[in-house]
């Protein structure tokens, strides 16, 4: 819960970069910059901001891939977009926090952005990285969410064409303001809305996977048959090679609801 996390605390940049160099030297192919509020990095120290850290990490010798954990849509500013342009090793996958596509619900959640601001951030990211996978989290059944609010959120998720969405029914946590909000949604209604939202996001995920057919993707393999593309899609191949920790080009030939399949090039 945000109320017990305390203030922002950023690790020194030199410490982060030294650890990254150590990982690279040991054979690590992909590094993830992560944190509770990762885009707030440096706000407490004034040393580097998050965009600076991205650029410096992405430029490390020997690094093949840099990935980011969840970011707030408010973080997608000119400086952040410039960092993406200047960081070719940064993967084309952005987990952009949403929670709801309805402005009234976002306001009750005390979110500091609107659906329109979110859409603008998504558009700007996709203009720079057209093949990027945009993923997010959505909560249904937040206190006070009317049927109209839910349908507005549903329509927004459809409009954004996410590659993947984690859907959660609101669960009251003791000690949080939302637990005491009026107009709590009945469990049966939350469950029904969750099923509707999950049905939509499953369709969107299939559509995104189907669009990859015919493309050639660079895949970092976890084992001899499975790995992840730069835009964080699961890819399977058949091979007699030891592909572990290798990046290989794969021509995508088909997909299931969960992953892509292809052939090594």
CATH topology classification for 1-91: Transcription Regulator spoIIAA (3.30.750)
Q: What is the pLDDT of residues 106-142, one digit of tens each?
A: 999 999 999 999 999 999 999 999 999 999 999 999 9
- What pLDDT sits at residue 47? 85
CATH 3.30.750.200 fits 92-208, yes or no: yes
Dist CA 112 CA 155 (whole Å)? 21
pTM for this predicted structure: 0.92
pLDDT per residue as tens digits for the range 65-115: 999 999 999 999 999 999 999 999 999 999 999 999 999 999 999 999 999
pLDDT at 227: 98
> For residue 217, what are the contacts with CB-CB under 8 A and spacing of at least 6?
229, 230, 231, 233, 235, 249, 250, 252, 260, 262
Pairing between β-strand 133-140 and β-strand 93-95 as defined by DSSP bridges: parallel
- Distance (Å, whole) CA 9 – CA 177: 24
The SS3 call for residue 43 is coil
Domain borders along the chain are: 1-91, 92-208, 216-264
With a cut of 70, which residues of the chain have pLDDT below it? 1-6
User: CA 182, CA 94: separation in Å to the nearest integer?
Assistant: 34
């Amino acid at each position: 819960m945000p109320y017990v996390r305390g203030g922002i605390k950023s690790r020194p940049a030199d410490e982060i970069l030294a650890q990254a160099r150590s990982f690279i030297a040991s054979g690590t192919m992909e590094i993830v910059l992560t944190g509770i509020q990762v885009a707030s990095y440096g706000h407490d120290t004034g040393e580097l901001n998050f965009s600076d850290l991205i650029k410096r990490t992405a430029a490390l010798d020997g690094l093949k891939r840099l990935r980011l954990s969840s970011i707030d849509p408010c973080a997608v500013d000119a400086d952040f977009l410039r960092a993406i342009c200047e960081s070719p090793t940064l993967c084309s996958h952005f987990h952009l926090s949403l929670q709801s596509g309805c402005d009234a619900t976002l306001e009750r959640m005390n979110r500091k952005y609107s659906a329109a601001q979110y859409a603008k951030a998504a558009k700007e990211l996709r203009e720079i990285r057209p093949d990027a996978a945009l993923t997010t989290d959505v909560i249904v059944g937040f206190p006070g969410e009317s049927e109209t609010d839910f349908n507005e959120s549903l329509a927004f998720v459809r409009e954004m064409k996410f590659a993947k969405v984690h859907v959660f029914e609101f669960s009251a946590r003791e000690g949080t303001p939302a637990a005491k909000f009026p107009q709590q949604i009945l469990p049966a209604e939350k469950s029904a809305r969750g099923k509707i939202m999950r049905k939509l996001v499953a369709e969107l995920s299939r559509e995104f996977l189907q669009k990859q057919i015919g493309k050639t993707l660079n895949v970092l393999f976890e084992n001899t048959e499975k790995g992840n593309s730069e835009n964080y899609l699961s890819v399977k191949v058949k091979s007699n090679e030891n592909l572990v920790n290798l990046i290989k080009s794969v021509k995508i030939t088909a997909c299931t609801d969960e992953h892509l399949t292809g052939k090594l090039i």
